[in-house]
Structure 1
Amino acid sequence: MGRRFEEIDWRETPIGAISLRRRLDPALDVDVYEVKLDDEYLMSSLFTVAEVELARLALAELPGADLDVAVGGLGLGHTAAAVLDDRRVRTLTVIEALDEVISWHRRGLLPLASRLTGDPRSRLVRGDFFAAVNDPTGLDPQAPGRRFDAVLVDIDHTPRHVLHPSHAAFYTAAGLHRLASRLRPGGVFALWSDDPPDDRFTGTLAEVFGTVRAHVVTFANHLTGGESANTVYVATHARPAGLA
């Protein structure tokens, strides 16, 4: 297991100091990888059930094969790896705002790094996901205007608790309409949230998409001795009449 605690990387970024740490959890006897932004925890490898379900629930809505998927937010890589577990996926484009996070994967500092960097279907793109949604070029700088079968997002804590004020507009009807324009007919938008289902946000999604579901994903939390939960919103873009 190595040392009980290690700060693997620490760097100043435009949104604060970001750090990657590894510690030994004595109760589970496993290495835990954690990311902090200043003094706030962003993610932990202890709790990844909902990140995996973000991919699984979204892709379960899609028929057929040769799927092109975009993920907003790389993090520890659990959502992206779950996307690649679906053999129907043809391409995966992961948009990450911080060079530091991409570097962790390219340098092999995280357990899932080789799965993401070694799979020819996967590409890590440095960019601001929210700015890309608004930009005419779209989510793939190598293919302007490209549309995807699914766009999965795990960046902010919740639609109301965002990491930067500039993100807030994305969660409005206008912002979600712009996101929907990046999807193919019948495509899926899925979002991770740390809060219980938010009826107002679900209503906003319903203004834009044909079908909306808020899935409560539960998982054991050994830190509290009980159960915790996240929410995964899954919204399906309506297909035009007559389109199979």
Structure 2
Amino acid sequence: MSPRFEEIDWRPTPMGDISLRRRRDPLTGQEVYEVKLGDEFLMSSLFTAGEIELARLGLGALPDGGADSGTGNGTGTGAGLDVAVGGLGLGYTARAVLEDPRVRSLVVVDALPDVIRWHEEKLVPLGEALVSDRRCRLVRGDFFALAAGTEGLDPQRPGRRLHAILLDVDHSPRHVLHPSHAPFYGEAGLRALSGHLHPGGVFALWSNDPPDEDFTAVLARVFATAEAHVVRFDNPYQPGAAANTVYVAGKAAGA
């Protein structure tokens, strides 16, 4: 049996001390992995429904059959989907992306090298599955800086366009981990991001807050479609269901 509590790794970062912890939950009996940044919990393997639905809802908004392999309209059948995920965490969004048989390639961008190292060294449950999948690359980088630039989210292929970009870094558009992230959620930041999508591509965002009508309106000004989905899941520590929000926005096919 694993110890009741273990701090697997701890490192200082420019955003605060980050730690990977494993504990045996006294209520459920499950082995739980948690990521903590400073005094804030970033991720827990006990609550993954929102992270998984981020991938399923985002990719589900794309046409069946995948997308073309070149720089065409990205909406027809063809070789598969090229996807980027902002925020690696414990890997649940990335794994859900790779479970879609249409996915040809996945780039996962994370600003914290230790989070990537945890997966490469198999210190987290999904690490081996992600690093052994040839379609998946883990990239150290600032997602928000890359999204604002012109070269895109894949440093190995500057200017590359993607069929879906999925983001799970901040708590919500209003509750960011660092002030430098805030401009991304405005109209100019989202327009820059949309430039990295194929026509007909999809941007999806996880949020821990209830649906934000103002943010949905900003999405609607940038993208052809914008919708907020409420994802409900059981929380053994509180009565009733807990909920996250997943925003899904689609770029016009002729953009």
One-letter amino acid of the counterpart of residue 226, structure 2: V
Larger proportion of strand: 1
Query: Equivalents in 1 of 2:39, 2:249: separation in Å?
Result: 33
Aligned counterpart, 1:221? 235
Q: Is residue 114 of structure 1 aligned with residue 164 of structure 2?
A: no
Counterpart selection for 2:94 from 55, 59, 80: 80
Query: Equivalents in 2 of 1:38, 1:183: separation in Å?
Result: 33
Q: What does residue range 4-43 of structure 1 map to in structure 2 within 5 Å?
A: 4-43=4-43
One-letter amino acid of the counterpart of residue 114, structure 1: E
Partner SS, residue 20 of structure 2? strand
Contact 2:116–2:138 at 8 Å: present in 1 too?
A: yes
Q: What does residue range 80-99 of structure 1 map to in structure 2 within 5 Å?
A: 80-99=94-113
Query: Equivalents in 2 of 1:20, 1:76: separation in Å?
Result: 10
Counterpart selection for 2:245 from 222, 225, 231: 231
Query: Equivalents in 1 of 2:174, 2:253: separation in Å?
Result: 29
Give 4+ residue runs of structure 1 displaced > 6 Å after superposition: none
- Greater shift in the superposed pair: 128-137 or 101-110: 128-137
Structure 1: which 5+ residue stretches go unaligned? none
Query: Equivalents in 2 of 1:27, 1:12: separation in Å?
Result: 31
Query: Equivalents in 1 of 2:4, 2:184: separation in Å?
Result: 40
TM-score, structure 1 normalization: 0.97
One-letter amino acid of the counterpart of residue 149, structure 1: H
Structure 2: which 5+ residue stretches go unaligned? 67-79
Query: Equivalents in 2 of 1:233, 1:40: separation in Å?
Result: 23
Partner SS, residue 42 of structure 1? strand
Which whole-Å deviations, capped at 9, do the CAs of 1:18-37 have from their partners, x for residues lacking one?
Answer: 00100001221110011111
One-letter amino acid of the counterpart of residue 119, structure 1: D
Q: Is residue 131 of structure 1 aligned with residue 131 of structure 2?
A: no
Tell me by how many angstroms 1:153 deviates: 0.1
Tell me by how many angstroms 1:42 deviates: 1.1
- Greater shift in the superposed pair: 31-40 or 188-197: 31-40
- Greater shift in the superposed pair: 122-131 or 224-233: 224-233
Query: Equivalents in 1 of 2:38, 2:186: separation in Å?
Result: 28
Partner SS, residue 176 of structure 1? helix
Tell me by how many angstroms 1:183 deviates: 0.2
Aligned counterpart, 1:44? 44
Tell me by how many angstroms 1:225 deviates: 3.2
